[in-house]
Structure 1
Amino acid sequence: MEKPPRKKAVVIGAGAGGIATAARLAKAGFSVTVLEKNSFIGGRCSLITHDGHRFDQGPSLLLLPKLFREVFFDLDTTLEAEGIDLLRCPTNYNVWFSDGENFELTTDLARMKTQIERWEGKDGFVRYLSWLQEAHTHYELSVAKVLSRNFISIWQLAAPKFVLAGLKLHPLHTIWGRASRYFWSERLRRVFTFATMYMGMSPFDAPATYSLLQYTELAEGIWYPRGGFQTVLAALQRVGERFGVEYRLGTPVKQIITQSDGKTARGVELETGEIVEADVVVVNADLVYAYSNLLTQAAPQTQRYSKRLRQKDGSCSSISFYWSLNCKVPELQTHNIFLADEYRESFDAIFDRQTLPDEPSFYVNVPSRIDPSAAPEGRDSIIALVPVGHLLESKGFGATPNGESGIPRDQDWSALVSRARRAVLSTVTARTGCARLEESITHEIVNDPFAWEAKFNLDKGSILGLSHSFFNVLAFRPKTRAEGFRNAYFVGASTHPGTGVPIVLAGSKITAEQILDDMRIAVPWRGRPSLIRDQGAPQNSTTGKLDKIRAPFWDSILIVVPISVIGMILYLLALYIGPLWLQRVLLPRGTYR
């Protein structure tokens, strides 16, 4: 008997989500083709090189390592087996303030204790431990209740168990509001809230749930893959190719083509006019861009949804500088944060006015500090990322490139790039005491919002996709199955579960499982232990009495109940005998006869 033909899947985009989903589907038996418009894989997780200097174009630190290990584990391999060497940063960040002080965020609890007590006293460290406990709860519940399941209906949010868990996530509180309960100085409130930059949000708007990001840094550390972030995705590409995935680079997609019903995708049309047929289409391109540009043949329902999507809040954009230096800058660590004095105003300028703050906060990464291969010997490679507002309109809907007339003053990007460059260079020198960086820069590359949009089709240049505000997460976030479609799906930053490389990798599992369940195909990794859910469970709990796990409740029952019974008897006896004894002692002999 002949085997049925293999199902065909086309994946649009070779970003983190596309690469991982392609490998998962191929393992399940699909014939998978990945189409990527650029000549390289990784999307924003790609490298820029110049004359021996190497820069991570997007993400430059690896968080939530369990989520990375999970995807390799499900594909029958490991990071180590694929040649990935994770380097742990000895210091998470140096946070630099304008008054000459700096705070070193680290997994070293003794070091954290010394610093926190310096600013907030001994009670401050106790409050820090309480904050850490709350952030741990946010982390564990998010992994168990959010990152491991799909949300296809709003009614899932009303399930009693989820409501009880959701209350512990503090979704209606802001990160700033919760942090202010535990940290009483303005300095430490800023230190423990700036990480919302990872989601392209303001700490005054971001749900408190996302304190889990700084928790994982402090509990699990910050890591960096030797050779650059893109090496992890290159390894996933190789794993996928072993399962038969075909990669076609430099192959832009024009549109997704449908059957006459407008609800069933039958493949894609390339810019060259070539048709690639498929049973399933997975979109790893920016979601808002895809609905507006790739689903033009869709039914009216989908086109109406596309218009609504363009009204949703996007994340911020960035002006990113990639500098080749002819020397080292020892004053800078691997990861450095420079915070504006007008902290709240700096976020309001970005998210309310979509521009560059007068005094910006920014991030400086020196990959050559942790991985010497990122720069020639005796030199440094430096990345400076300055968060800014996104474009007011996306390409094709009214955006105006640099240099043309009609640019709003607050979005004259040529002028804003120059101002951001001056601010970074002067601030780094003033706060760290290092030599003037501009005198050591031998080469510069810049990505502004227009560059992000042009390179990666990011709607409005929003580098982290849609916002993570309350009504943009869980069942409110765009679904993993395309609106109005039977066999088109999304994976990436703007669909569930959200943005960030580890979160997108978790999303690849959700999307792949949804596809396989919809097509009634067995999920190869289902039923196996989960690294993110089961890691930490006792592995040898039955080998001997020293290893047995007992809840203290039952032990206390065995001890407390008998003691309580004896105590109650003694108490009753004391109530009865005590007064008689007192009468004999205190009253004159014979008066109680």
Structure 2
Amino acid sequence: MNKPRSAVIVGAGAGGIASAARLAKAGIRVTVIEKNDFTGGRCSLIHRGGHRFDQGPSLLLLPDLFQEVFTDLDTSLEAEGIELLKCEPNYNVWFGDGECVELSTDVARMKKTIERWEGKDGFARYLAWMQEAHTHYEASIVHVLKKNFTSYWALGRPSFLPYLLALHPFESIWRRASKYFMTERLRRAFTFGSMYMGMSPFEAPGTYSLLQYTELAEGIWYPRGGFQKVLEALTKVGERLGVEYRLSTSVRQVNVDNYSGRATGVTLASGEIINADIVLVNSDLVYAYNELLPPSKKAVSLSKKPASCSSISFYWSMDKVIPELHTHNVFLADEFKESFDDIFKRQQIPTEPSFYVNVPSRVDPSAAPNGRDTIVVLVPCGHLLENQADRGLNPQNAQEWENMVTRARNAIFETIRLRTGADIASHVVDEDINTPATWKEKFNLDKGAILGLSHSFFNVLSFRPRTKHDEISNLYFVGASTHPGTGVPIVLAGSKLTTGQILDDLRLPRPWTAGGHKRRIVSSLDKLGRPPLDLLPFALILFAALLYWLVVVA
């Protein structure tokens, strides 16, 4: 009876690492199985010739969610040696007409930027947009990221219903931005961030303006040493709590007892069986249902759900510093909407792609040798079409990835040269590439979709795959395709929901608080209270009424 409960976690991505540490803190014996020889999943590093590349995420958003997971584990980012570097400005957004819009957390700089393109009234509209995005942000944190949606009835939760319309889930982020920004230029500058969710701004729910909000209100950050440093620190915290990591080890299947209908552990590719009381799957959800679990209707339906986009990502070692490029650069296509249609409707790479260029060595010199730059370029593109016949595609629409990579590389070189004047093609001395096919191979991502399932309205909240299997007991999920959604901070929030659900089911206490912002209270000066009622305006109104009656009426 005193034997500690056990859990096996499939996958050492952000959700798996955070969940392992949380469960270990609750007294559960945890084993993490990872097919690669590193932890962090897509949050991993590539090292080549003194250059360091972030293979996946290259900027840190929603820093409070990162801090919360460390706080819940009785430590902090600072205590674990993580130094967050602020990226200022946030972005330089480059347009085809030669203009560049700088986005910043500096209100004075933003005022000049907005008024330059939209006049004096533009800044008031920008503040109104920020107010709406603030509502999206705060309501989502409290009522979505910190609440589990375990059934359709959760949509009717009294605390959530009042915010449903306020989150604007039935309007696109483009439509909401168009209400506040009058120029096409700023509408594009304030909506391209929907790509973080793997969606077109013309399809992504208006709720996701919260992403631009957190960038402008809280800033964009970069962990010194690379994004993976955060996941490495979480891994070490877990190890201190007793988590066992088994790397370079593949899982063949999740074992399910046919009689009881419960998960009993996993079988490794080697044939070894690891038994556990709890199985938590952090691998790609569609992959898990189709490759690790028994055949089911759920597996078929998940495969048919719309997926996010993929990317062609270049990792370039430069032989010099490219001063024209900043830390975060976004190059937007002139044919803006058409470029997104190419990605999401035709699963292609646009003729003129929009793309993101990250120069980590600009904010963290350790990312490149002295006198050189490290450059990462992400070109959003369609995901793999693994059954073209079912999609009605004709031969001329077939995906030819070798040709797409060449087109993408040439478009990047030419666009950067025309818009910034920098000729970078002749200064690339080494190159690594990720395509949808390599994303799928390295990380078992279904269709090579880098952000999991889509985040359209009927793929979020109660409609998103749940954190616990509907039929197999003791089987749970965490990651980009389960509630609450994709993105490292969102997945970290999801790990708290999933592990909390596990502990509730085991009737074990949660060894952490609900979290959230805490006000600093030092003295009576910090006591909340409404200002005293000012009677002067009422007295003036009464006096004016009396004077009017005496002079005009009487």
Q: TM-score range by the shorter chain?
A: over 0.9
Q: Does 1:447 align with 2:434?
A: yes
Secondary structure of 1:168's match? Answer: coil
Residues 470-505 of structure 1: CA deviation (Å, up to 9, x unaligned): 000000000000231211100000000000000000
CA distance in 1, matches of 2:173, 2:166: 14
Quote how far apart the aligned CAs of 1:548 are: 2.4
The equivalent of 1:547 in structure 2 is: 526
CA distance in 1, matches of 2:92, 2:193: 13
CA distance in 1, matches of 2:107, 2:537: 39
Q: Is the 8 A contact 2:44 2:227 kept in 1?
A: yes
2:164 pairs, out of 154, 163, 166, with: 166
Secondary structure of 2:378's match? Answer: strand
The equivalent of 1:507 in structure 2 is: 494
Give the partner amino acid of 2:403.
A
CA distance in 1, matches of 2:545, 2:94: 66
Q: Does 1:324 align with 2:324?
A: no
Secondary structure of 2:484's match? Answer: coil
TM, length-normalised to structure 2? 0.96
The equivalent of 1:27 in structure 2 is: 25
CA distance in 2, matches of 1:230, 1:369: 18
The equivalent of 1:312 in structure 2 is: 305
Gaps of 5+ in 2: none
Q: Does 1:358 align with 2:351?
A: yes
1:230/1:394 CA distance change after superposition, 3 Å: farther
The equivalent of 2:108 in structure 1 is: 110
CA distance in 2, matches of 1:243, 1:329: 44
1:193 pairs, out of 186, 191, 194, with: 191
2:472 pairs, out of 469, 472, 485, with: 485
Q: Does 1:476 align with 2:468?
A: no
1:575/1:375 CA distance change after superposition, 3 Å: closer
Equivalent positions of 1:205-220 (< 5 A) are 205-220=203-218
CA distance in 2, matches of 1:32, 1:208: 39
1:36 pairs, out of 34, 37, 48, with: 34
The equivalent of 1:590 in structure 2 is: none
CA distance in 1, matches of 2:157, 2:24: 34
Residues 221-274 of structure 1: CA deviation (Å, up to 9, x unaligned): 000000000000000000001110000000000000011237200000000000
CA distance in 1, matches of 2:91, 2:550: 68
Greater radius of gyration (CA): 1
CA distance in 2, matches of 1:387, 1:126: 33
2:239 pairs, out of 233, 238, 241, with: 241
Q: Is the 8 A contact 1:55 1:383 kept in 2?
A: yes
Q: Is the 8 A contact 2:256 2:472 kept in 1?
A: no
CA distance in 1, matches of 2:48, 2:175: 43
The equivalent of 2:384 in structure 1 is: 391
Equivalent positions of 1:88-99 (< 5 A) are 88-99=86-97
Quote how far apart the aligned CAs of 1:158 are: 2.0
1:394/1:271 CA distance change after superposition, 3 Å: farther
CA distance in 2, matches of 1:97, 1:458: 32
1:100/1:479 CA distance change after superposition, 3 Å: same
Give the partner amino acid of 1:418.
T
Quote how far apart the aligned CAs of 1:172 are: 0.6
Q: Is the 8 A contact 1:314 1:465 kept in 2?
A: yes
CA distance in 2, matches of 1:232, 1:438: 33
Q: Is the 8 A contact 1:326 1:380 kept in 2?
A: yes
Give the partner amino acid of 1:495.
T
The equivalent of 2:365 in structure 1 is: 372
Q: Does 1:53 align with 2:51?
A: yes
Quote how far apart the aligned CAs of 1:161 are: 3.5
CA distance in 1, matches of 2:260, 2:187: 51
The equivalent of 2:449 in structure 1 is: 462
- Percent of aligned positions with the same letter in both sequences? 61
Residues 335-392 of structure 1: CA deviation (Å, up to 9, x unaligned): 0000000000000000000000010000000011110000100011100100000011
2:83 pairs, out of 78, 85, 88, with: 85
1:256 pairs, out of 250, 254, 257, with: 254
Quote how far apart the aligned CAs of 1:143 are: 0.5
The equivalent of 1:150 in structure 2 is: 148
The equivalent of 2:481 in structure 1 is: 494
Secondary structure of 2:265's match? Answer: strand
Quote how far apart the aligned CAs of 1:58 are: 0.3
Quote how far apart the aligned CAs of 1:407 are: 7.6
Q: Is the 8 A contact 1:25 1:512 kept in 2?
A: yes
1:573/1:184 CA distance change after superposition, 3 Å: closer
Equivalent positions of 1:223-302 (< 5 A) are 223-261=221-259, 263-296=261-294
Q: Is the 8 A contact 2:485 2:491 kept in 1?
A: yes
The equivalent of 2:400 in structure 1 is: 412
The equivalent of 1:403 in structure 2 is: none
Secondary structure of 2:513's match? Answer: coil
Q: Does 1:138 align with 2:144?
A: no
CA distance in 2, matches of 1:407, 1:577: 88
CA distance in 1, matches of 2:407, 2:282: 34
Give the partner amino acid of 2:211.
L
Q: Is the 8 A contact 1:8 1:30 kept in 2?
A: yes
CA distance in 2, matches of 1:569, 1:211: 46
Q: Is the 8 A contact 1:267 1:275 kept in 2?
A: yes
Q: Is the 8 A contact 1:305 1:483 kept in 2?
A: no
Quote how far apart the aligned CAs of 1:123 are: 0.4
Give the partner amino acid of 1:548.
K
The equivalent of 2:504 in structure 1 is: 517
Secondary structure of 1:534's match? Answer: coil
Secondary structure of 2:526's match? Answer: coil
Give the partner amino acid of 1:313.
P
CA distance in 2, matches of 1:98, 1:507: 39
1:490/1:183 CA distance change after superposition, 3 Å: same
Q: Does 1:429 align with 2:427?
A: no
Q: Does 1:123 align with 2:106?
A: no
1:551/1:433 CA distance change after superposition, 3 Å: same
1:520/1:569 CA distance change after superposition, 3 Å: same
Quote how far apart the aligned CAs of 1:394 are: 7.8
Residues 190-225 of structure 1: CA deviation (Å, up to 9, x unaligned): 000000110110000000000000100000100000
Q: Does 1:534 align with 2:517?
A: yes
Quote how far apart the aligned CAs of 1:429 are: 1.2
CA distance in 2, matches of 1:355, 1:576: 75
Quote how far apart the aligned CAs of 1:159 are: 3.2
Quote how far apart the aligned CAs of 1:563 are: 7.1
Q: Is the 8 A contact 1:354 1:410 kept in 2?
A: no
Quote how far apart the aligned CAs of 1:526 are: 3.2
Quote how far apart the aligned CAs of 1:437 are: 1.4
Number of aligned positions between the proteins: 552
Q: Is the 8 A contact 1:394 1:459 kept in 2?
A: no
How much is the aligned-residue C-alpha RMSD, in angstroms? 2.0
Secondary structure of 1:173's match? Answer: coil
Give the partner amino acid of 1:315.
S
Quote how far apart the aligned CAs of 1:547 are: 2.6
CA distance in 1, matches of 2:349, 2:468: 36
Secondary structure of 1:514's match? Answer: helix
Q: Is the 8 A contact 2:521 2:527 kept in 1?
A: no
The equivalent of 1:402 in structure 2 is: none
CA distance in 2, matches of 1:202, 1:324: 30
